[in-house]
Structure 1
Amino acid sequence: MAKVLMKGNEALAEAAIQAGCRHYFGYPITPQNEVTAYMAKRMPKVGGVFLQAESEVSAINMVYGAGGAGARVLITSSSPGISLMQEGISYIAGAEIPCVIANVMRGGPGLGGIQPSQSDYFQSTKGGGHGDYKLIVLAPSTIQEMADLVQQAFDIADKYRNPVMILGDGMLGQMMEPVDFDNIKKGENHIEEKTWATTGMGTRKKKNIINSLELDPQMLEKHNIELFKKYEKASKEEVRYEMTNCEDAEIILVAYGTIARVAKNVIELAKRENINVGLIRPISLWPFPVEPFEKTVNYVKRYLSIEMSMGQMVEDVKLAVNGRKPVYFYGRAGGMVPEPAAILEEIRKISGGAK
């Protein structure tokens, strides 16, 4: 199949359809509205369900219902909209219902602005809702990877019976790049039967009951322990990352999403000044990839976390490094994007060669 020139939001939507998603619920919010518009056109043509809810609170509870019935279901929104969904996301995680949630981040806090940002990292990776639960969080840096990770997200969600979040930003959602959908499993035929789903008794003798309420504290504790056994398994099996030019780097940049693309340009700029710079790009934000830090910590001099925020992922970088080497931070907030020249200047400062 030939590559198709698409916006990131459109590629996300098409990849979900090709991966077997036939249920989409959402509510309009910039900068992810192209997903909603695309699904409104495409879902009826593939025999699917598109429903624009009256609010994000309603939409996430529709996801609970469709996912509980065994459907592959997608919901998308942007920062404040995801905030409104947090109670429902906690319910879904507690009830062990697979679904895919995409957050195309905008600037904040509050209503903020519609420019790209990465200030929802804490909300996504630390659990924005109540209770003990985890989301598996994947962060693409290209539109092709956006499409590929959507397929993986649905498979991971089904494997662990857990919500999976695609965490992008407004820049990734709005930019256009060629996308190849050949690697995506087509349709619903490849999806394994969900024997736990509430699809009627059929030939079963026991009812399938999906619930996140448990009034007996001992039973609720047992449920939490079982959930965290699942998270422990995921933390070993679902780690994803990319390393660039790290073999003998003096300074290693750490960046995810679209800012990792900027960081790759900085590697070349630093090389011209005889500063050997590498890049660790976390693709799974939870589970956070510790392995690349273990591989590099013995010889690298320092790490520099680059983010479109006031500093969030940098805390996980510090935990991974565990005090063994200095960790620095450079970020822009409110929709401002770090520029290569500014990152290079920061590298000069921390390497002792400011000009």
Structure 2
Amino acid sequence: MKKVMMKGVEAIGEAAIIAGCRNYFGYPITPQSELTEYMARRLPQVQGSFLQAESEVAAVNMMYGASSVGRRVMTSTSSPGFSLMQEGVSYMACAQLPAVFVNVVRGGPGLGDIQPSQGDYFQATKGGGHGDYHLIVLSPSTVQEAAELTILAFDLADRYRNPVLIFADGLLGQMMEPVALQEREITYDNSSWALTGAKDREPRQVTSFNIDPYGLEKMNLELQKKYREIEAKEVRYEEYLTEDAEILIVAHGTVGRIAKSVVRMARESGLKAGLFRPISLYPYPYEALSNLSERASLILVVEMSSGQMLEDVKLAACGKAKIEFYGRMAGVVPTPEEIFSHLQSLVGRR
């Protein structure tokens, strides 16, 4: 299969088209504006529709409308823009509308900067909007994986009638790597719920509103049942040199990629280190990490945040191993050398 050099955001865009996305609504914001530009150029070539909305609030509500008639839809944004979309995200989750969101995370809080960050983890995994809902959240570490997870995201969105979030960062979005993309047959069935006109069937309703509390609770219970199924079937993670690991590094996304180098450096120095990289941030791989925690004496969580995923690691480990944290914020990317140096200092204190 032929590989081509592509930016991360461009690979996500092309993968979305391969997956059958023909409607994109968005508003430019760095460091993902090239994805908006890519979709503006490519969608007309495949008889799709691109629309630059007047705001992120408008974009997410356009997605609601397009998804409700059975279209595969996507938007992309960065941290402040995704914050503006949260009301619409909650509406779509409750209405059980499939859609794919891409958040190329930048430094914050507030307007922040345009450098890479993972500081939107809580927003992504704990529900950035109101109510009891979840997005399926996928965290790629390479451009190739970003493309593959984008295709998967559309399939998962339709399978569970649920919004899916690609949780990337400015580093992954802007880097260029060889990517192999292959056309595939697009198949999905929305015949049981999409609003296509009610001439030959009973009318349907797509809504997140129910003024009867018992009726709304019934809708919520249906959602919770779906989330339990997702948690049982859609957990994804990578293990690297964990078979005999006494030290476990836990990191996701591009930091997980950096942490692989740290593991190799540790092994060369005689430390039995391994990497656990969550790929699905929701559902989080609690059970797999819990099992590894029984064998590890030290877990080092590394993030480009103040320690947001750290909470999930603590829940998974449940006191089975000593847990330490190393993080950089505001768009600062940790190097393998500084992480390894920190790891050495921790080992020296034991």
- Is the TM value for this pair above 0.5? yes
| TM-score, structure 1 normalization | 0.97
Corresponding residue for 1:195? 192
Residue identity over aligned pairs, in percent, reads 56
SS of 1:25's equivalent? strand
- The reply to whether residue 165 of structure 1 matches residue 162 of structure 2 is no
Distance 1:23 1:195 in 2: 21
Q: Any conservation in 2 of the 1:15–1:151 contact (CA below 8 Å)?
A: yes
Name the SS of the counterpart of 1:351 in structure 2.
helix
Question: Helix, strand or coil: the match of 2:270?
Answer: coil
Instruction: Give unmatched runs, 5+ long, in structure 2.
Output: none
Which residue matches 1:95?
95
Matching residue of 1:308: 304
SS of structure 1 residue aligned to 2:114: strand
Note if contact 1:151-1:185 (Cα within 8 Å) is conserved in structure 2.
Answer: no
State yes or no: 1:217 paired with 2:216: no
Letter in 2 for 1:194: S
Encode CA deviations 1:127-152: one digit per residue, 9 max, x unaligned.
00001100000000000001100111
Aligned residues: 350
Q: Which runs of 4+ in 1 moved over 4 A?
A: none
| 1:275 aligned residue (265, 271, 289) | 271
Offset of 1:87 from its aligned partner?
A: 0.3
Per-residue deviation at 1:193?
Answer: 3.7
Does the CA contact (< 8 Å) of 1:266 and 1:340 recur in 2? yes
Give me the whole-angstrom Cα distance separating, in 1, the residues matched to 2:208 and 2:77.
24
Instruction: Quote the residue 1:146 is aligned against.
Output: 146
Contact 2:30–2:78, Cα closer than 8 Å, also in 1: yes
Q: Gaps (5+ residues) in structure 1?
A: none
**CA distance in 1 between partners of 2:191 and 2:107 (Å):** 38
The question of 1:335 aligning with 2:331 is answered yes
The verdict on how the C-alpha distance between 1:202 and 1:3 changes in structure 2, with shifts beyond 3 A counting, is farther
> 1:285-320: CA deviations, max 9, x gaps?
000001322331222101111000111001000000
CA deviation map 1:157-177 (0-9, x unaligned): 001100000000000000001
Match of 1:37 in 2: 37
User: How far apart are residue 334 of structure 1 and its match?
Assistant: 0.4
TM-score computed with the length of structure 2 as normaliser:
0.98
Q: Work out the CA distance in 2 between the residues paired with 1:296 and 1:40.
A: 45
Which residue matches 2:104?
A: 104
Cα 1:92–1:193 shift into 2, 3 Å: closer
Task: Give the letter for the 1:114 counterpart.
Answer: I
Cα contact 2:290–2:318 (8 A) shared by 1:
no
Answer yes or no: is the 8 Å Cα contact 2:237–2:276 preserved in 1: yes
